[in-house]
Amino acid sequence: MKHAAPARRSFPLAGAALACLAALSAAGPAQAESGDVLKKIKDSGEITLGYREASIPFSYLGGDAQPIGYSIDLCNRVVDAVKKELKLPNLKVNLQAVTSQNRIPLVQNGTVTLECGSTVNNAERQPLVGFSVTTFVVATRFVGRKAAHQKTVDDLKGRTVAVTTGTNTVKRVRELNEARKLGMTLVNGKDHAESMLLVTSGRADAFFEDDILLTGMAASSQTPGDFALSTEGYSVDPYALMFAKGDPEFKRLVDGTLKGLFASGDINRIYDKWFTRPIPPKNIVLNFPMGATLKQVIAKPTDSPDAADYK
């Protein structure tokens, strides 16, 4: 597949724009028209995939600065299905970098056709965008220095912790902080790489995020043996591919592609490629075998945003 050069610029929302996101989604002027995604692809001969620069191993930049990862592989299978359905063997694939802050607006306004990252399908996002069947299941944890012996959130009382701007983890950690009266100070990284840097540089004691993303960040650090994940989790969340809301035909194609991978067993080979074998560019091994919950999802696909359905 021939890709366009990756877009390296990000488009973070200004504070006012972020505050107005809910209002914009309700009014709907930036939303793609229902059912027009495949027609737009057919008419333009192009599809745009959104990717993350540091969401290892789902979507990140490889040694040649091209996006790679588990979610990228899944999206490439969807692209193949689009080519077949629309009879467009020479479909042009554009690549657009997205961040936690701008990924939803860029899908809403049609800049990104399909977001291939590490995005949680939850109730808050359901009115804004559409989601595929679940592709991964995560738990929120924190990573810190092994020498600090910080195993549970109670070990972080009065400490400074990092969270990534624009993620659902921000709200979760704030609620956890207030509910348990921990007195933690929250600092924000603009992306996961910067949040991890806050820990490695000593400006934060821990970084809260999805367990597999923390595993990837720690494993790809210069001293992976120095870090350890918390022994308890604080949520269960489903990842999914994200696209414009209100387009049943495009959702049918995306879900059908993923369900085909699940039924054929191809998903196991794709999973092992990214979670149990050496991955580029440093050939690190995450040692993250498929869990029972994801196996259940593969056997019985679901697009439910309800965490209770994954316990």
**158 & 222 share domain:** yes
**248 & 115 share domain:** yes
Q: Is the peptide bond before 57 cis (omega within 30 degrees of 0)?
A: yes
pLDDT at 32 over 50: no
% residues pLDDT > 90 (the chain): 87
Q: What is the pLDDT of residues 138-184, one digit of tens each?
A: 999 999 999 999 999 999 999 999 999 999 999 999 999 999 999 99
Q: What is the pLDDT of residues 56-107, one digit of tens each?
A: 999 999 999 999 999 999 999 999 999 999 999 999 999 999 999 999 999 9
**169 & 216 share domain:** yes
Cβ contact 132:182 at 8 Å: no
- Domain end, chosen from 229, 248, 264, is at 229
CATH number for the domain that contains residue 146 = 3.40.190.10
Q: What is the pTM of this model?
A: 0.83
- Domain end, chosen from 229, 252, 268, is at 229
How far apart, in whole angstroms, are the C-alpha atoms of residue 44 and residue 48?
11
**Amino acid 280: pLDDT:** 96
- In total, how many domains does the chain have? 2
Cα 106 to Cα 26, 43, 179, 183, 281: the distances in Å are 16, 20, 34, 35, 28
The crossing angle, in degrees rounded to 10, of helices 248-264 and 37-44 is 90
Give the structural domain span for 196: 140-229
Cα 3 to Cα 36, 92, 112, 285, 288: the distances in Å are 23, 7, 15, 27, 29
- Distant-in-sequence, close-in-space partners of 99: CB < 8 Å, separation ≥ 6: 10, 11, 12, 52, 166, 190, 191
**126 & 148 share domain:** no
Residues pairing with 145 in the sheet: 227
